[in-house]
Structure 1
Amino acid sequence: MNSSNLFIDVKYGPRNPSVSVSPSGEIVEGSSVTLTCSSDANPPVYNYTWYKKNVTSPKASGQSYNITNIRSEDSGEYYCVAENIYGLINSSSQFIDVKYGPRNPSVSVSPSGEIVEGSSVTLTCSSDANPPVYNYTWYKKNVTSPKASGQSYSITNIRSEDSGEYYCVAENGIGSNNSTDLMITVAGTQSSQKIPLVIYASVGITVAVLVLMVLCLSGFIWFRKKTPKSVSDTRINADSGQGISNPTYENFSSVGGTSVINDQQDDLEYINVNFDLAKTQDVSLNATVQPTNQDEEVQYAAVKFNPPSAATKPMTGVAEEESPVLYSTVNTSRTNTT
């Protein structure tokens, strides 16, 4: 009795679909990537559809999905859906991590606002990168050697010479990139100090001049007080019955009957003596006044004072006081003789 083999072909839907990536390893921005979906099924899967997680619309269809010139925004989880006549099933997710170098590094300064000389300033560099930046280097424009390293750069007791443009260089395993320049201006630089210096100099010069003027004026007043008055010339000018009145005779001292200039000004006496040349009446004031000529301008070169008589002399044993100084104003009037 002959027996025959019986083949049983069991049909089933897709089983354990999976996604592979090529090339394997690190995916760098700008490169190309191929995703491939595989699944066991009977009959074989006739349709593969590609999705990115959290995105409803499919990305592509087919067993392979090619991404050319991949970008950082292409990073994410991808999966495929395998389908045959008996069913469909989702594969496990495959994470695509696109690496890229530092992007758009920028510099910020703290505190913000005006930077005063002597204060402290902190510069901070920030940059988007995958993997993250592992090294920051600080430079001042037109200076080749670096100023510092690290994400932050602190300048303590900042000076005017620290003014300038600063930038950072951000670097990771993919590449490096320079930030834009940040201008640092320290208040109190030469341009901002010129006006105050001129003002201070002007004020100083003005004060010095005023002090000098006050000193000169004080010295002049002191000199005038200490300088003795000179003997004035005694002059009387007569004109047709009118005389120039009030010529002044100063600092005459009667010592032993002789007119002597007295430097001291104590015990002053002022007297007005009026002469009328038309009268013959004697004028007696214990003084003899001798005019040079009645017909001409009368000038008195000296005024002599008679010493005191014996009856009026001071008593014996009493010190004789110095004769007082006499200031006299002599007014004369002259009449024409016929």
Structure 2
Amino acid sequence: MVLRTAGGRLSLLVFLWSVAVVLGQYGWSVTYTTRSICTLKGSTVNLSSSYTYPSGTVTSTFWFIKTFDVENYVNLRNDSDYNGRVTYHSDKTNGHTLTITDLRESDSATYKFRFITDQTGGKYFGNPGVTLSVTDLQVKVTTTWWSTTLTCSTTCTLTGNPTYTWYRNSKIVQGASSPSYTFYFKTEDSFYCAVKGISSPAVCECD
């Protein structure tokens, strides 16, 4: 919009006012600390975010994965699938953390954070969210004529470069970043791997 006056001052004022109105529509954001997490069944995970808004007071904050319609977001605390396994923690700098305990493979989903303010239309959630993949531990066996290699396997790459601990008859035989363990003689011993206290099913290498 351009209005002309003899000195041009009015047109400049109107232009600046228009810019201010456009900028006033912004200022809403949600930032996720991590966008993708792969972790183990039975473990605990923390999903973190921070948010900004232009004005007003925040009246409600929550995480969700389900919606029933355009404006009906299901707070995880009210979702029967997460009963007793979800806690929220907020800090003074607009940070918000979701903790889920006793993870199940069915918890694999994209989690999003939503907040509501006391301003008209003051509702916002952040895309794309945090993609959580929950996997269990399985042991794959590779045998040659002279050795057997056991590999602790997951359906996704575990977040955080975890340490794999190998047990032979319940005694630790290897603790390292490698998910594989090799031995060179036939045995009836029982082997299993563990990550962060979560164990795989046992494997017996019998003659």
| TM-score (normalised: structure 2) | 0.45
Q: Which protein has greater RCO, CA pairs closer than 8 Å, 6+ apart?
A: 2
